[in-house]
Chains A and B, each alone.
Chain A
Amino acid sequence: MHSSITKKLAITLLAWAIALVVFFPIFWMILTGFKTEGEAVATPPSLFFEPTLSGYHEVMARADYVKFAINSVVVSLGSTLLALLIAVPAAYSMAFLPTPRTRGTLLWMLSTKMLPPVGVLMPIYLLFRDLGLLDSLSGLIVIYMLMNLPIVVWMLYTFFKDVPKDILEAGRMDGAGTLQEVLYLLVPLTLPGIASTGLLSVILSWNEAFWSLNLTTSSAAPLTAFIASFSSPEGLFWAKLSAASTMAIAPILILGWMTQKQMVRGLTFGAVK
Chain B
Amino acid sequence: MATLELNNIVKDFAGTQVIKGVDLEVKDREFVVFVGPSGCGKSTLLRMIAGLESVSSGDILIDGQRMNEVGPAERGLSMVFQSYALYPHMTVEDNMGFSLRLAKVPKAERREKVLEAARILQLENLLERKPKALSGGQRQRVAIGRAIVRNPSIFLFDEPLSNLDAALRVQMRIELARLHEELDATMIYVTHDQIEAMTMADKIVVLQGGIVEQVGSPMELYHHPRNRFVAGFIGSPKMNFIDVEVRDARSEGVSVRLPGGGEYAVPVDASGCQTGDILSLGIRPEHLVLDDAGPLEGEITVIERLGGVTSLYVQCHDEEWILVTDGEVAHRVRDSVRFGFVPTRAHLFAEDGLALSHLERHPLVDVERRQNRASTAADAS
Residues of A within 8 A of B (CB): 164, 166-167, 169-176, 180, 184-185, 188-189
A176 contact from B52, B88, B102, B150, Cβ within 8 A: B102
Least CB distance from A148 to B in Å reads 27
User: What secondary structure prevails in chain B residues at the interface with A?
Assistant: loop
Q: Which residues of the partner chain A approach B87 to less than 8 Å between Cβ atoms?
A: 167, 170-171, 185, 189
Residues on A with beta carbons closer than 8 Å to the beta carbon of B81? 166, 169-170
Closest to B88 in A: A189
Identity of the chain B residue whose Cβ is nearest the Cβ of A189 in the assembled complex: B89
Whether A172 contacts B85 by the Cβ 8 Å rule is: no
Q: Mark B64-97, 1 if CB is under 8 A from A, else 0.
A: 0000000111000111011101111100000000
**A174 contacts B99, CB within 8 Å?**
yes
User: CB within 8 A of A174: which of B52, B83, B98?
Assistant: B98
Given contacts A175-B73, A185-B87, A189-B89, contact A170 B102 (CB under 8 A): no
A173, B50: Cβ atoms closer than 8 Å: yes
- Give a binary string over B135-166; 1 marks a CB under 8 Å from any A CB, 0 the rest: 00000000000100010000000000000000
Establish whether residues B103 and A169, one from each chain, have CB atoms under 8 Å apart when the complex forms.
no
Contact A172 B73 (CB under 8 A): yes
- Please determine whether B52 and A169 come into contact, CB atoms closer than 8 angstroms: yes
Can you list the 5 inter-chain pairs with the closest CB atoms, starting with the nearest? A175-B73, A166-B85, A174-B99, A170-B85, A175-B102
Please give, as numbers and ranges, the residues of chain B lying within 8 Å of A176 by CB-CB distance. Answer: 73, 98, 102
How far, in whole Å, are A266 and B82 apart by their CA atoms in the complex? 29
Task: Check B83–A188 contact: CB distance below 8 A.
Answer: no
Neighbouring B residues of A184 by C-beta, 8 Å: 98, 102
Q: Are A171 and B98 in contact, with the CB atoms below 8 A?
A: yes
A195–chain B nearest beta-carbon distance, Å: 14
Q: With A and B bound together, what is the CA distance between A185 and B60 in angstroms?
A: 29
Query: Could you list 9 A-B pairs, sorted by A, with CB under 8 Å?
Result: A164-B85, A166-B81, A167-B88, A169-B79, A170-B85, A170-B86, A173-B77, A176-B73, A176-B98
Instruction: Determine the residue in chain A with the shortest Cβ distance to B143.
Output: A170
The listed residue (A167, A175, A180, A188) touching B85 by CB distance below 8 A is A167
Assembly CA distance A173 to B71 (angstroms): 9
- Seed contacts A169-B52, A173-B50; 10 additional CB < 8 Å A-B pairs: A166-B81, A166-B85, A170-B81, A170-B146, A173-B73, A173-B78, A174-B146, A175-B103, A176-B102, A185-B87
Cα A184 to Cα B87 in complex, Å, equals: 10
**A185 / chain B contacts, CB cutoff of 8 Å:** 87
> Which residues of the partner chain A approach B78 to less than 8 Å between Cβ atoms?
173
Question: Chain A interface mostly helix, strand, loop or mixed?
Answer: helix
The residue on A at minimum CB distance from B80 is: A170
Q: Which residue of B lies closest to A172 (CB)?
A: B72
Q: Which residues on the A side are within 8 Å of B71 (C-beta)?
A: 172
Query: Taking each of A169, A170, A176, A185, which has the highest tally of chain B beta carbons within 10 Å of its own beta carbon?
Result: A170
Please give, as numbers and ranges, the residues of chain B lying within 8 Å of A174 by CB-CB distance: 73, 98-99, 102, 146, 150
Residue of B nearest to A168 (CB): B85
CB neighbours (8 Å) of A167 from chain B are 85-88
Bound CA span A176–B101, Å: 10
Q: Are B98 and A166 in contact (CB under 8 A)?
A: no
Q: Nearest chain-B residue to A174 (Cβ)?
A: B99
- Minimum distance in angstroms from B54 CB to a CB of chain A: 13
Complexed CA–CA distance, A171 and B95 (Å) = 10
Q: Contact: B89 with A188, CB < 8 Å?
A: yes
Contacts of A170 in B (CB 8 A): 79, 81, 85-87, 146
Closest Cβ of chain B: how far from A226's Cβ, in Å? 42
Q: Is the CB of A169 within 8 A of B85?
A: yes
CB proximity of A166 to chain B, nearest CB, Å: 4
Chain B residue at minimal CB-CB distance from A167 = B85
Nearest CB in chain A to that of B156: its residue: A173
In the complex, the answer to whether B89 meets A173 with C-beta atoms within 8 Å is no
Closest to B52 in A: A169
How far, in Å, is B47 (CB) from chain A's closest CB? 8
Chain B: CB-nearest residue to A185 = B87
Inter-chain contacts of A166 with B (CB < 8 A): 81-83, 85
CB distance from B81 to the nearest CB of A (A): 5
Q: Which residue of B lies closest to A175 (CB)?
A: B73
Query: What is the bound-complex CA distance between A176 and B98, given in angstroms?
Result: 9
CB-defined contacts of A169 to chain B, threshold 8 Å: 52, 72, 79, 81, 85
Knowing A164-B83, A166-B85 are in contact, say whether A172-B99 is a contact too (CB < 8 A): no
- Nearest-CB residue, chain B, relative to A188: B89
Closest to B73 in A: A175
Residue of B50, B73, B78 with highest tally of chain A CB at under 10 A: B73
Interface centre among A169, A171, A172, A173 (most CB of B within 10 A): A173
| Closest-CB distance, A240 to chain B (whole angstroms) | 50
Q: Is the CB of A172 within 8 A of B102?
A: no
